[in-house]
Structure 1
């Protein structure tokens, strides 16, 4: 993603996992998807810059709001480099679209709940 700082600041994948609460498997996946920048040591181990802690936390936060890794990959760097970033101007529309999708899903679930309640009431009345 960005220019690498000193290799002395780099983290091994296990340390990155502990610092973020993400699984090693998830971090590997984010790396393979181009969301993180790792280098390989001579022994083949991945090494990540310290900023990867912020990036992984942001990736987790965006996933928790319903964005796919493909969508996250299209976001500008500001969304991954600033922990807790609410939005960059470039993704406000994507956030609005995601919210609209969630609202439609909530409405559909509410309709299903109402139909199920009605069925239960009908079956209770039939039993009496």
Structure 2
């Protein structure tokens, strides 16, 4: 699977651990994030990940910032992107099962790196349930 990842200065350590996990699983990574703790603007990286999803250059996306909110809001500005802010693996599972989320947003200041890796694993391995949820997901996008 091809996965696009982007992060601001709150997430370099998270990204490093997640990328290591993903590469061990055989996934291809597109890295849009910063590798330093110097202040940067999260929209710059959120837009790049979302664009990869929008143009189908990546199957799924991962975005990371301090709260997870700003970068998720940024990603969700793109058509056909459904970024879900997750702070437990159970929420990551529901985001895929019920919402067909294609980007997971991780709040680096509110989860551990271990939790983040577990959420990503759950996100990647949980299929969309479809059924009654498909009609709801189809109503999300503005036409």
Normalised to the residue count of structure 1, the TM-score between the two structures is: 0.26
Which is greater in Rg?
1
In the superposition, the TM-score normalised over structure 2's length comes to 0.24
| Structure in which a larger fraction of residues adopt helix | 1
- Name the one with the larger strand percent: 2
Determine which structure has greater relative contact order: mean sequence separation of CA pairs < 8 Å that are 6+ residues apart, divided by chain length: 2
